[in-house]
Amino acid sequence: MSTTDLTGPFAIAVAKLRRMLSLSTTFQLARGVVNEQDALSFIHTRDYRMNPERPLGIVHPGSTFGYQKVSGGAQYQLQPHGVVELYLSIDVPAEYQNDEIQADLFAADYFSNIITDIAALSAAEDPESDTSHLDITNADLSFYACTDKEDWPTIGQFYFAYILFQWGGEG
């Protein structure tokens, strides 16, 4: 199913966040790609944590979706709102593998720059669509960690983050 065929607001929110991540220059540079289409091949909507290719993005429907009443002058209307989850992972570069502080700072910089890239697009016009980008009302990095040292020989030394994007409005 093409994303242009989507009509449900929750599915549209997931598709929009996936597109916004693909437009992130931080994600594109880390992946070594130069455009949205190439970046999309590394952004999934299912659990691909066993995939060794990193950096990786997984955009997943969150557990929150509904409608809230908003006021607008004399009218009241219900507008959709919810949460879309983003899981990211990135390998620790060789030059930081023996320096935990530099590795932590590298990963913190990467994850925060992706959040910044996505936030900059929030509710902005999307030239590839007849609607705007997802109207993000809040972005929270809710979990951030490095793989355990005993796992490095088998799965590698990498960081992963779990980011919650609250959205709402007509976007």
Per-residue pLDDT tens, the chain, 171 aa: give them. Answer: 445 577 888 888 999 999 999 999 999 999 999 999 999 989 988 765 555 678 889 998 888 888 887 776 656 678 888 999 999 999 999 999 999 999 999 999 999 999 999 999 999 999 888 788 999 999 999 999 999 999 999 988 999 999 999 998 554
pTM for the structure as a whole? 0.89
Phi-psi region of 156 (alpha: psi -120 to 50; beta: other; left: phi over 0): left
Give me the helices (H) in the chain, please.
9-22, 25-31, 36-40, 100-121, 152-155
- For the four alpha carbons of 26, 29, 35 and 37, in that order, the dihedral sign comes to negative
